[in-house]
Amino acid sequence: MIKQKNNMKILGIETSCDETAISVIEIIEKKTDEFEIIVLANELLSQIDIHKKYGGVFPTLAKREHAKNLPPLLTKALLKAKKTESEFCGYTKKNTVSEIPFDNSEIESLLSREPGMFSALKKEIAKIEKPALDAIVVTRGPGLEPALWTGINFAKAISTIWKIPLLAVNHMEGHIFVSLLKKRNFAEQNIKNKGEGPEIFDLKIPSLPIVSLLVSGGHTELILSNEVFHYQILGKTRDDAAGEAFDKVARIIGLPYPGGPEISKLAEKWRASGKKGLGIVFPQPMVNSKNFDFSFSGLKTSVLYFFKKLKNPGEEEKMEIAAAFEDATTDVLISKTKKAVKEKGARAIIVGGGVVANKILRQKLMFLSEKQKIPLFIPEIPHSTDNALMIAIAGGIRLIRFGNAVHDENFGAEGNLKMA
Ligand code: KG4
Ligand code: ZN
């Protein structure tokens, strides 16, 4: 059972793709829809270097890496959280020594599909005390199912060992909530610190209706919320997601995975060079369509044909292609977001997902927000790509709002989990 209260300590676990992440937060409801979030630990192990060789994320490899990473990452996150609490927050919630039911076949059977994890977890658990957590929150989907299952089985195991309630959340909701964080200055932090200490954020749910643009490796969606936690999909991609298009175009022009940051870097160099080049302009698919849907597959094919036609394409041509592709993609995203904001009378724009790390997209969104005189909530760059902070926050806000009404023990991974 999860007791409903307005101050919770939460552990978040994220394994939907190629980042293994665990975070520990304290979330405090200050007023209705206003929260304070103290980040006690935010640990992440990226598998990018492993998947690079394959030009994309390889699901079974991702699963194996998550299984290997999770037990030591748990110890690291919990020790960090404990240290942060005692050094900077002026209090330590009393942890109790775990009574590990390791003769309990329940844990072994929960982890039967994660080779090696049972013995690794057993070793790690012996190093740490039972944490004083109110809940464990884990990503249920969307994402790669084998990767999601590893996080879920691990979460179920530690929830059973420590008898701590477990909640599953939607990864995309995590991307939305993490965008609402506003970092506090150290001067405003009412904890004793010496220029150091945990990051503290304020989070205020904006005025409704809200239009959210979610752009990641697997998703491109425009969502309308007339109520908090209610999502109506206005439009989505009909083929490739925006991040997927960045990754595929990068591969076409010979750049490594993940393609988004690589394309961005080349494009930036091109703009800084001030050169005119070939004057490449790629089509902006569905930019004038009457709906809110997207399509990036045709744009990727245009890049492919253009690139193939070039004789001995050099660094300059690649740079120009990267910039022209980035322009076309970001222009379509902005144009559809603007249309949604106007037609739906939105009072706030939230953007989330890995592609929001893109600087040009960020600039264009800021410009749109200024022109439309509507607040924009955009994540800090390190919070744009997958992390566990976003999972802990989405779960924390749900728990404070609904308590055990959202509690569900018999859940599994849902690779195609929808927002609505
Ligand atoms: O949200 P995320 O970390 O994982 C998913 O849930 O998919 O998003 C990853 C995607 C990748 O496709 C990656 O290429 C893209 O985000 N990405 C970027 C940038 N950084 C990451 N795309 C464009 N520009 C960037 N700077
Ligand atoms: Zn994501």
The model's pLDDT over 196-238, given as tens digits with 9 standing for 90+, comes to 678 999 999 999 999 999 999 999 999 999 999 999 999 999 9
C-beta separation of 154 from 117 below 8 A: yes
Atom of ligand 1 nearest to the CA of 258: 14
Provide the pLDDT for residue 261.
96
Probe target for ligand 1 pocket from 215, 355, 358, with the most ligand atoms within 8 Å of CB: 355
Which band of pLDDT confidence, cut at 50, 70 and 90, is reported for residue 307?
very high
Ligand nearest to the CA of 390: 2
Mean pLDDT score of the chain, rounded to an integer?
92
Is the predicted pLDDT of residue 44 greater than 70, yes or no?
Answer: yes
Atom of ligand 1 nearest to the CA of 243: 12
Element (H, E) at 79: helix 59-88
Provide the pLDDT for residue 394.
97
Rounded average pLDDT over 334-347: 98
Rounded average pLDDT over 148-160: 96
Provide the pLDDT for residue 410.
83
Residue 307, CA distances (Å) to 32, 193, 234, 245, 408 in order: 54, 55, 34, 15, 50
User: Pocket residues for ligand 1 (CB within 6 Å)?
Assistant: 17, 216-218, 243-244, 246-247, 258-261, 264, 353-355, 357-358, 385-386
Provide the pLDDT for residue 350.
98
Ligand 2 centre distance from Cα of residue 217 (Å): 7
Ligand 2 centre distance from Cα of residue 283 (Å): 27
Ligand 2 centre distance from Cα of residue 97 (Å): 35
Probe target for ligand 1 pocket from 175, 176, 213, 216, with the most ligand atoms within 8 Å of CB: 216
Buried b (16+ CB within 10 A) or exposed e, 253-276: bebbbbbbbbbbebbbebbeeeee
Helix, strand, coil content of the chain in percent (nearest 5): 45, 20, 35
pTM of the model: 0.93
Rounded average pLDDT over 38-62: 90
Probe target for ligand 1 pocket from 385, 387, 417, with the most ligand atoms within 8 Å of CB: 385
Provide the pLDDT for residue 2.
66
Is the predicted pLDDT of residue 189 greater than 80, yes or no?
Answer: no
Rounded average pLDDT over 333-362: 97
C-beta atoms surrounding 168 within 10 Å: 27
C-beta separation of 131 from 92 below 8 A: no
